[in-house]
Amino acid sequence: MDSDHTDPVTGLLAGKRLLITGVARPDSIAFAVAERAQEAGAEIALGVFPRDLDAVEQLSATLPRPPAAIVAVDATDPEQLTALQDDLRALFGHLDGALHAIAFAPAAALQGIVGVPSSAVELALRTSTHSYAGLAQVVADLAADRGASLVGLDFDPSRAWPVYNWMGPCKAALRSLNQYLARDLGPRGVRTNLVAAGPLRTRAAGGIPDFKVLLEAWERRSALPWNPDDARPVADAVCFLLSDLARAITGEILHVDGGTHAIQ
Asked if residue 4 belongs to a domain, the reply is no
pLDDT per residue of the chain (264 residues) written in tens, 0 to 9: 455 578 989 999 999 999 999 999 999 999 999 999 999 999 999 999 999 999 999 999 999 999 999 999 999 999 999 999 999 999 999 999 999 999 999 999 989 999 999 999 999 999 999 999 999 999 999 998 889 999 999 988 888 877 889 999 999 999 999 999 999 999 999 999 999 998 888 766 666 666 787 888 888 889 999 999 999 999 999 999 999 999 999 999 999 999 999 886
Per-residue pLDDT, 3: 52
What is the spatial distance between Cα 33 and Cα 42, in angstroms, rounded to a whole number? 11
Asked if residue 7 belongs to a domain, the reply is no
Per-residue pLDDT, 158: 84
**CB-based contact 17:95 (threshold 8 Å):** yes
Asked if residue 110 belongs to a domain, the reply is yes
Asked if residue 11 belongs to a domain, the reply is no
Per-residue pLDDT, 193: 98
Which domain, by its residues, includes 223?
17-262
Asked if residue 5 belongs to a domain, the reply is no
Per-residue pLDDT, 214: 80
Q: Which helix (H) or strand (E) holds 97?
A: strand 97-100
Instruction: Please count the structural domains in the chain.
Output: 1
CATH code, domain with 198: 3.40.50.720
Asked if residue 21 belongs to a domain, the reply is yes
Instruction: Kindly provide the b/e burial profile for residues 185-199, where b requires at least 16 CB atoms within 10 angstroms of the residue's own CB.
Output: beeebbbbbbbbbbb
pTM of the model: 0.93
Asked if residue 10 belongs to a domain, the reply is no
What is the spatial distance between Cα 30 and Cα 23, in angstroms, rounded to a whole number? 5
Asked if residue 3 belongs to a domain, the reply is no
- Maximum C-alpha span of the chain: 56
